[in-house]
Structure 1
Amino acid sequence: MQPLGVSAYLLRSALAVVALACLAVSSGRAAAPAPAGAAQAAAGAAQPAVVIPRFSDPNARIEGPNLPAGRVVRWATGDDYAPFHYIDADGQPAGFAVDLARAVCSELKIACTLQAWRWDALLDTIDKRQADVILAMVRPSPELRSRFAMSARVHQTPARFVARRDKAPAEATPEALAGRAVAVVTGSAHEAFLKAFFPKAQLKTFEKADAARAAVRDGEAELAFGDAVALAFWLNGTSSNGCCRFVGGPYVDARYFGEGVGVLLKPGDEKLRQAIDYALQRLDESGAYAEIYLKHFPIGIW
């Protein structure tokens, strides 16, 4: 996924956030349609339904935290990947990861610190004893799993199709997309997925995701396939000109799009990992996770 610039993210999401009180929060994999955001309302288009993903098992029973009294947990996150983590206009860490980290600490009733780091220094903070945990949108890999322990998942970004409203197929099946021009980033996991499962689609490849999206808007392609978060903010923003909507999906094949992200910890810190998993489950059950999710992702991506 290409991150939104902080100023662009704040501008795009400002109107959408005011609709949060009206959005229907789902406790499972279904939700009522949400009212249209201001940008799409102006274009006469309805917001897609907002579904809150659930990553915890409601039937699981995780033991309560058993952390040493007085322990302070040091969190590290990234500084330039809105809406997940970034530096706001006041120079403070902000974003989904920041709010979730604070909620975990509040649930556990422990003292925490949080610092945003450059991407090239972030993963070294635990080894250098500059942080106890990392919460950032770092895709798990065999190398990452050999280096860190990881909590339960906190986020997963699916892949989605968007299509021009005047040429949108009723469904996004391999048969329906046969012969249709689909814009996608060259060399990406999304391109590989299309080649494997939509072999008869006519792929139009681009170096950048914004160019692929523009191709659909401008009629050079009928659909685009990519990161659902980036596509959702584009659909709700001004640069799409209300051209398009989601079609089909979501797609979450871990071989192409990853298993989702969790909190990274030093291997062997089981008490802290268990405490974080306990807090995440409690936040899910109480609806606090849903509130944080809707604050930063007010546009449906599932």
Structure 2
Amino acid sequence: MPASAPRAKHRRRRRYPMGLALGLCLVSGASAVLMVSVPETDSAPGSPAETSATGPVSDGIPEESGSSHPATGEESAAGAAAAPGSPSPSPSSSEEEAPVLLRSVEEEVDSADGEIRVVDDESEVMGEGPLTTFAVEVEEGLPGEDGDFVDAVEEILGDPRSWGNDGDRSFQRVDGDDADIRVLLAAPDTVDRMCAPLNTNGFVSCANGNRAIINQNRWVSGVEHFDDDLETYRIYLINHEVGHTLGHGHVNCPGEGEPAPVMQQQTLDLQGCEANGWVHP
């Protein structure tokens, strides 16, 4: 896929109160809205659910999420460069040469500043069909470049293999409050708070109402069973959580060796399928 053209990074600060009432999608595969107040972080989390009428939607909790961690994205991307006898490029050179979907491979964090901002500017309309607008939000204090995340989200949602599917819908990034979808990159602590009452346990991402909430640690590290294919995992992560905001629920692997459906919970288990990030591979 071609790299997105660089753009100036102008940021507008907007504050979103943590007690914001959030809408929930998904009841029996159809889109429904229920307003719930986000509890404080010390509230007892609810049990994970594939679809729920009383809380957000996520990939649930891995059984041993506290005892093991996937290989970091930094290790994944740098593996070839670290081979014996190979020269190690400088960080700036490596970053410039990295494809759009592999930029800003950073260390994991537990928390950031807690302030969420919308990244300024708009994109052209991508694709054909009814228009769906989306805003990209980033929590302040995260490592990496905001523009790298923006470019990746645009490249994924603008691809005909995503939810546009050559005419099903078109996408455009905007920076207003009235965007149809909001894609947020946030630290695990913030994800846990904004996904409550679902227990994301600092590990998984979720969708809550029209917001796809991406766990920064999954964005930079992926998961072990994707075999260091961070690019495919990032494509999956955006398409999966955006799919929830569009009203799609979880599905299972259709058969051994087949491409995993994008709404399968691939963060937890491939179930015998092959890793896949595209809605229409």
With structure 1 as the length reference, what TM-score do the two structures score?
Answer: 0.24
With structure 2 as the length reference, what TM-score do the two structures score?
Answer: 0.25
Higher helix share: 1
